[in-house]
Amino acid sequence: MSPTTTTTTITEKPPSQTPTPTPTPTPTPTPTDTIITLHRTPTSLTSPRPKFKNTLLASVGYLELANAGDFAANVWNEIPVPTHAVICMAIFGPIALLASLFAARDLYLAVSNLRVLRAERKLLLLLLLARSTTTPSTTTTAATKETSTSTSTSTSSPPPPTPTNTTSTSKARALLALNTRQLLTEAIDRALMDVLLGGGAVLVGVGTILAIFGADAAVFEASNLLSGFVGNAPAAAFGVVNAGWTGVLVVGLQRRWRGACTSLSLCAASSTAGGGGGGGGGGGTGGGAGGGVGGKVRMRLRARFRMLQVHAAVNGVTGLVAGMASMVTARMWWGYVVLIPCVVVVVVGNWFWRVRLGYDRAMWRGEAEPEEGEEGGHDGESDVVEELGAVIEARETLDAWVEGPLDRLMGRIVRHGMAEAFCERLARRWGEHPVFAGDTKEVCIAVGDLLSGSESDQARMLDECGLFLREDGRKILEDRERYLLELLGELLLIQA
């Protein structure tokens, strides 16, 4: 019997049985039915939605260099202090103190990220707790699930309208795992680094300045302590802690990649490209498309995890070596020779994270997702793979469709979740547009209204769309791809 006679099988059921309804696909958002809400501030219109932001400062990459600013005090640790040593101390002592201000600023930004991550974590934990007490056993068959769900709905009061009812459990667990990793990364790799290295820079800076007045015995001893073991101890402590966290991170990323290698959907998608042609013309075409998406996703997933692993490993080893070398500098000058390559590697690693690894993402607030259990139980993974394919295609073809008509450009902006960012940018550049009129605290913008207006207004709107996609759209799509790749890795680990 042909496996494609699904309709015949349903019609042969007894009249008393109702066929299982086909899941309705989620409609693609269009400009005419998209509403964006912005909060009005004294200076601008901003999104009320909290975001996890890639705000690592480039200046904190030089904290290791600032902690080495005591070299004059340690190398020329003698009385009277040579004139050239005094000049070096007068220069590098204040520089170390100045670096601590950048560390304080970066700490503030890190704490802001930690706040939004903790808020998201609370929502996800509440969701999973509610699902653990309300969701039927996942070991039942699809028909039993449908019957038990109908019975529970008719015999008990409906649950409150929370995200619990619309978000799949597997995707919620993946979001929670990703949230946990980002939370620990911000807390250890950033906040702890700012506290310890920034505090160490203060001690080293004060000790270096005190060394200028080393003719006084008490000042000399205090300078030796602050620019020696006491001032360099925070850097050594951070190196040890960071090395331990790096080991955990590298092993965890390897487990996620192994989960991707054993993924049913990705393996099937990749292999379909080569074996889809035998099933006829239609099957061959579909297989080729699916294989292309699966192959691209696997390739980018591997590259993403490998870059994260290499960055973590290099960062951990460098921090450990730099911490130990900083302790050596208190007594031996050659410790600074070891510190030189460490400083260079830390600066490059800081750049690599900001440009190649970090990304912005909106916090999860309970958006509707497909229910778990449809399409064989891998819908969460399939949805992410499908969305990744769309994002990858959009990035690759951005230059081709950025010159399209206004309605098509606006449709792509909405379809790829960029409408909110576009409205924020438009409010800054074209604040006199009628959609931003009024003095209410919240501004609700119907994206379809941006398509109306005079010919000159539409021409300017077309230019604004093109500029947005060229200047901001590529970065938004890039951030979205990085986020989805990491989310997919968590999903694959859960389902492996």
pLDDT above 50 (res 3): no
Residue 409 shares a structural domain with residue 478: yes
Angle between helices 217-226 and 229-261 (to 10 degrees): 0
Residue 236 shares a structural domain with residue 253: yes
Cα separation of 161 and 183, whole Å? 28
Residue 339 shares a structural domain with residue 448: no
Could you read off the pLDDT of 325-363 as tens digits, one per residue? 999 988 888 989 999 999 999 999 999 999 999 999 999
Residue 339 shares a structural domain with residue 414: no
Could you read off the pLDDT of 429-476 as tens digits, one per residue? 998 989 888 788 889 998 888 988 889 999 999 999 999 999 999 999
* Short-list 354, 359, 355, 353, CA closest to 315: 353
Query: Quick check: 198 and 139 in contact, CB under 8 A?
Result: no
Residue 200: pLDDT band with limits 50, 70, 90: very high
Can you tell me the mean pLDDT for 46-57?
92
Residue 250 shares a structural domain with residue 122: yes
Indicate the number of domains in the chain.
2
Which domain does 414 fall in, by range?
Answer: 35-51+380-495
CA end-to-end span of the chain? 33
Residue 473 shares a structural domain with residue 349: no
The two structure tokens encoding residue 168: 């799949």
Q: How far is CA 53 from the centre of its chain?
A: 8
Residue 456 lies in a domain: yes
Residue 490 lies in a domain: yes
pLDDT above 90 (res 118): yes
Chain mean pLDDT for the chain: 81
In degrees, rounded to 5, the angle at the alpha carbon of residue 342 between the alpha carbons of residues 340 and 343 is 70
Residue 42 shares a structural domain with residue 120: no
Residue 1: pLDDT band with limits 50, 70, 90: very low
Residue 46 shares a structural domain with residue 188: no
Residue 216 shares a structural domain with residue 337: yes
Query: Quick check: 10 and 21 in contact, CB under 8 A?
Result: no
Residue 490 shares a structural domain with residue 405: yes
Residue 162 lies in a domain: no
Residue 109 shares a structural domain with residue 199: yes
Residue 13 lies in a domain: no
